[in-house]
Amino acid sequence: MSRSLDCDFECRFKQGPVIRAAFALPTEEASVTVLFGPSGCGKTTVLRCLAGLEKPDTGFIRFGEESWCEAATQVHQPPQRRTLGFVFQDYALFPNLSVAGNLAYPLVGISKDERHRRVSAMIALLKLEGLEHRRPVELSGGQQQRVALGRALIHRPRLLLMDEPLSALDRPSQESLRRELRGILREMGIPALLVTHDRNEALMLGDRLLLMQDGGIQQDGLPAEVFTRPRTPELAQALGIGTVVRVRILSRENGLVRVAAGSVELLAPDPGGLGEYAHACIRGEGVAVEREVHGDPTTRNRLRAKIVGMEPQGALVRLHLDCGFSLEALVTAWACEDLNLREGETVMAMVKATAIHLIPVW
């Protein structure tokens, strides 16, 4: 019988939201499950309940045959009995202990030589050589994150819980550590549950994604699938899909469906099960912009559009377009400059049919 983490519980806060979670995680394989959702939706509460740092008001948490929490019978195993690793958002390193001291802290019941061997191996794995005797305050954010990860992994926990582990880092450090984190988790072979609201983090690290919104898990699937095929328009917005527009179904042909969005027509893949109306979700990355405004705008999802707003976002610029309905496009700052795009100007927006996801309206 395969061992899994099964939970179905509720946490109620006085004059606050109710957080619900019901899912099962297989823990025999070293997969990474991402708990994704906007800030404040209850992701951290779910993680804290699994760790034993919060007590659910109703429901249960079971790990294989072990009962970690049964609210009905007041069973609540403390974190010490759950044998898990927890990486906190702010790392929570022990300020009075060195890097080696922090890493060795969870190791008990083993010989001094074995402890030394495991700490040295972890230092090598996390590329912390030469920092063994430093205190946390003497480390950079990235180094602190590695120590926190090492401390959570060194006692070989049965499950690793990570609460937005990269959010306190600057973007370049986030990107390099994200790549390394995936490799480290694979090498250690420990199943992990990662909380994040960062799409790139979820896509890069996750094998499975639980989408959380309004205090509950709303969708469960492969990360790329959940991000491209949200189940409801609200989830599409929670996933950061810039354009969600109500459309009317005009015709179906060869696996494609022609829809009317405002005053224009679009071609999109037919997901099946469509009625008369649907919601079209269009990712900004799937919309290209060019200067040429001539030609037939009705072919291949070419739409004449007016730029009504420009929002710089690092290396990218989010363009707000009016093309008969509100459309968002995400283009590089370089392309924006090259095309000399300005607010109020008319451009041609090209929407990839595959970037359109239709959600039936019931």
Partner 1 sequence: MDWQALALSLKLSFCTMVVLVVLGMPLAAWLAFSKRRWKPIVEAIVALPLVLPPTVLGFYVLMALGPSSPLGACCERIFGHRLPFTFSGLLIASVLYSLPFAVQPFSAAFASVDPRILEASACSGAGPLKTFFRLILPLSWAGVLTGLVLSFAHTLGEFGVVLMVGGNIPGATRTVSIAIYDQVQSMDYGAAARTSALLLGVSFTVLVLTYSLRKVRLFP
The SS3 assignment for 150 reads helix
Name the phi and psi angles at 169, rounded to 5: -100, 160
For 118, residues 6+ apart whose C-beta sits below 8 A from its C-beta are 104, 107, 110, 154
Determine contact, residues 152/160, Cβ cutoff 8 Å.
Answer: yes
- In what order do the strands lie in the sheet containing 4-12? 18-26, 4-12, 58-63, 66-70, 75-76
Closest approach, Cβ 82 to partner 1, in A, equals 8
> Contact, 256 vs 267, CB < 8 A?
yes
Q: Which is nearer to partner 1, 115 or 246 (CB)?
A: 115
* Least CB distance to partner 1 at residue 104 (A): 10
Closer CB to partner 1, residue 83 or residue 232?
Answer: 83
Measured from the CB atom, the residue of 77 and 237 that comes closer to partner 1 is 77
Q: Which residue, 81 or 291, has its beta carbon nearer to partner 1?
A: 81
**What proportions of the chain, in percent to the nearest 5, are helix, strand and coil?**
30, 35, 35
| Contacting residues toward partner 1, per CB under 8 A | 51-53, 78-80, 83-86, 88, 90, 92-97, 105-106, 108, 135, 137, 151-152, 155
Residue 191 or 223 having the CB closest to partner 1 = 191
Judged by CB, which is closer to partner 1: 45, or 213? 45
* CB 84, min distance to partner 1, A: 7
CB 319 within 8 A of CB 329: yes
Q: Which two tokens stand for residue 219?
A: 């969708």
- Nearer to partner 1 by C-beta: 97 or 350? 97
* Nearest to partner 1 of 137, 315 (CB atom): 137
**Residue 131 C-beta: closest distance to partner 1, Å:** 17
CB of 191 to partner 1, least distance (A): 16
Shortest Cβ distance from residue 75 to partner 1 (Å)? 17
| Cβ within 8 Å of residue 325, ≥6 positions away | 243, 245, 261, 262, 263, 264
- How far apart are alpha carbons 129 and 252 in whole angstroms? 62
Q: Which of 159, 244, 174, 231 is nearest to 204 (CA)?
A: 174
Query: Cβ(284)–Cβ(291) under 8 Å?
Result: no
Going by the DSSP 8-state scheme, the letter that residue 242 receives in this structure is: S
Taking the complex as a whole, the smallest distance from the CB of residue 216 to partner 1 amounts, in Å, to 25
> C-beta of 162: minimal distance to partner 1 in Å?
12
Could you tell me whether strands 346-351 and 32-36 are parallel, antiparallel, or unpaired per DSSP bridges? unpaired
